[in-house]
Amino acid sequence: MAKILPFRAVRPTRDKVSLVASRSYQSYTQAEREARLDYNPYSFLHIVNPGYKYDKEISGKERYQLVKNRYLEFKEDGVFVQDEKPSFYIYRIVDRDNQVFNGIIASASVDDYKNNVIKRHEDTIATRESVFKDYLKTVGFNAEPVLLTYPDNAIVSGIVQQIQSHRAEFEFTTTYRDTHYLWQISEERDIKTITKAFSDMNTLYIADGHHRSSSSALLCDDLKSENQNHSGDETYNSFMSFLIPESELRIHEFYRIIKDLHGLSKEEFLIKLDTMYRIENRGAIPYKPSKPHHFSMYLDGEFYSLYLRKTNYKFKTSLDRLDAQLLFETILKPILGIDDLRNNSRIDYLSGKKDIIKLINKIDGGEFKVGFGMIPASVEQMKAIADEGLKMPPKSTYVEPKLRSGVTIYEF
């Protein structure tokens, strides 16, 4: 029984939303960030990069306080306004490839997260959880929702379609040529219907945002212990989420690129691979696998296809069938000596949605020695792994949609 509730979002005014909305800070190159900070005074990047005002890199708790200050200035200047009534928000994205994503921005229960009603498929790193919890506690808001997915539901989709028949409150197109729309749902009848529809669902799944959700749970524990009048209705008992039906979720793979062959020559490495894989040299033309348990490999200017010899590998759990785990168990750990995927500087990751040319350039340029590709994980795999209480390796999924920061803000 999932508890999904409306909340009073802080939002940019309609005339400034296209200027405020930004991608995640890390997704910009330094030149892109500087251009937006130099020429767009309304960009949300000014809030998350407050040192720009003083031409200085600022980090730690000093940065957190300045982030809060910049945010309050945006509110004081009327760039941000808080809605008077708790609402749900329908968010629609039509990307440059004409893929369409429709979901509902709402608050999700921390208790549901703790009680495994909201299930997770990825491990989190304790230090990152703690750092982000401290950040949230100081700034007092979150601007990036956790992406949750749920089984397609006729009641929810019916309301979404009905609301979308009216003019959107926000409509803006980005320089990435993605068009974003937002509708506010404040009618009590619609809110009750949506709340009831989600309460009839036994499980929701985190598709993206594991650290944001775990940090929100830690924040809730902190603020609850400090509040002698805790009632359970405080906003810190929930976290902002974007709920999207499973059929509209898009999952891409990540390439793995490794800096060396762990002391092996090319020939020795290929011979070791031959134990678990049937290997075919595909030449210089880019190759991508098309089936589970098949991998692409780029080494020394050539592509190879690797087909698992299934007689040598036993599938016991849903995690064993995940290609990212399979690659780790058969190649990265036993042959290349990478036994800690989170803390090994010899491995890096590239989104499979990006051009394979980036992988080729990094290896041909000598920065890395070998790269591996695979097909994307499926929603069914993600759910099965979460249902079994197992965890995927890091960078197993690159999930879309990606919302813009600063369009809806959740205050604690």
Output the 3-class SS for the chain.
CCCEECECCEEECCCCHHHHCECCHHHCCHHHHHHHHHHCCCCCHHHHCHHHHHCCCCCHHHHHHHHHHHHHHHHHCCCEEECCCCEEEEEEEECCCCCEEEEEEEEEEHHHHHCCCEECCECCCHHHHHHHHHHHHHHCEECCCEEEEECCCHHHHHHHHHHHCCCCCEEEECCCCCEEEEEEECCHHHHHHHHHHHHCCCCEEEEECHHHHHHHHHHHHHHHHHCCCCCCCCHHHEEEEEEEEHHHCEEECEEEEECCCCCCCHHHHHHHHCCCEEEEEEECCCCCCCCCCEEEEEECCEEEEEEECHHHCCCCCCCCCCHHHHHHHHHHCCCCCCCCCCCCCCEEEEECCCCHHHHHHHHHCCCCCEEEECCCCCHHHHHHHHHCCCCECCCCCEEECCCCECCCEEEC
The pLDDT of residue 56: 87
Encoding tokens for residue 353? 């949605």
CA atoms within 13 A on the CB side of 337: 9
Give per-residue pLDDT as tens, 319-339: 999 999 999 999 999 999 999
Half-sphere CA count of 277, side-chain side, radius 13 A:
23
Asked if the model's pLDDT at residue 124 lies above 90, the reply is no
Check whether 132 has a pLDDT greater than 80. Answer: yes
Q: What pLDDT was estimated at residue 53?
A: 86
pLDDT the model gives residue 286:
93
Average pLDDT value for residue range 167-183: 95
Higher pLDDT, 128 or 172: 172
Cα–Cα distance between 188 and 75 in angstroms, integer?
A: 27
* Model confidence band, residue 352 (pLDDT cutoffs 50, 70, 90): confident
Q: What is the pTM of this model?
A: 0.92
- Looking at the chain, how many residues does it have? 412
Domains of the chain, each with CATH number or no CATH: 4-251+400-411 (no CATH), 254-375 (3.30.1760)
Q: In the predicted model, is pLDDT for residue 355 greater than 80? A: no
* pLDDT tens digits for range 154-174: 999 999 999 999 999 999 999
Per-residue confidence (pLDDT) for residue 169, from 0 to 100: 97
Q: Mind listing the pLDDT tens digit for each residue in 86-119?
A: 999 999 999 998 999 999 999 999 999 999 999 9
Which pLDDT value is given to residue 123? Answer: 82
The Cα angle at residue 300 between residues 297 and 302, in degrees rounded to 5:
55
Q: Residue 215 class from Cβ within 10 Å (0-12 exposed, 13-18 middle, 19+ buried)? A: buried
Q: What is the mean pLDDT of residues 185-202?
A: 97
What is the distance between the terminal CA atoms of the chain, rounded to a whole angstrom?
A: 24
pLDDT at 272: 97
Residue 77 pLDDT greater than 90, yes or no: yes
Residue-averaged pLDDT of the chain: 95
| pLDDT of amino acid 54 | 87
Maximum mean pLDDT: which of 43-52, 123-132, 309-318: 43-52
pLDDT tens digits, 239-286? 999 999 999 999 999 999 999 999 999 999 999 999 999 999 999 999
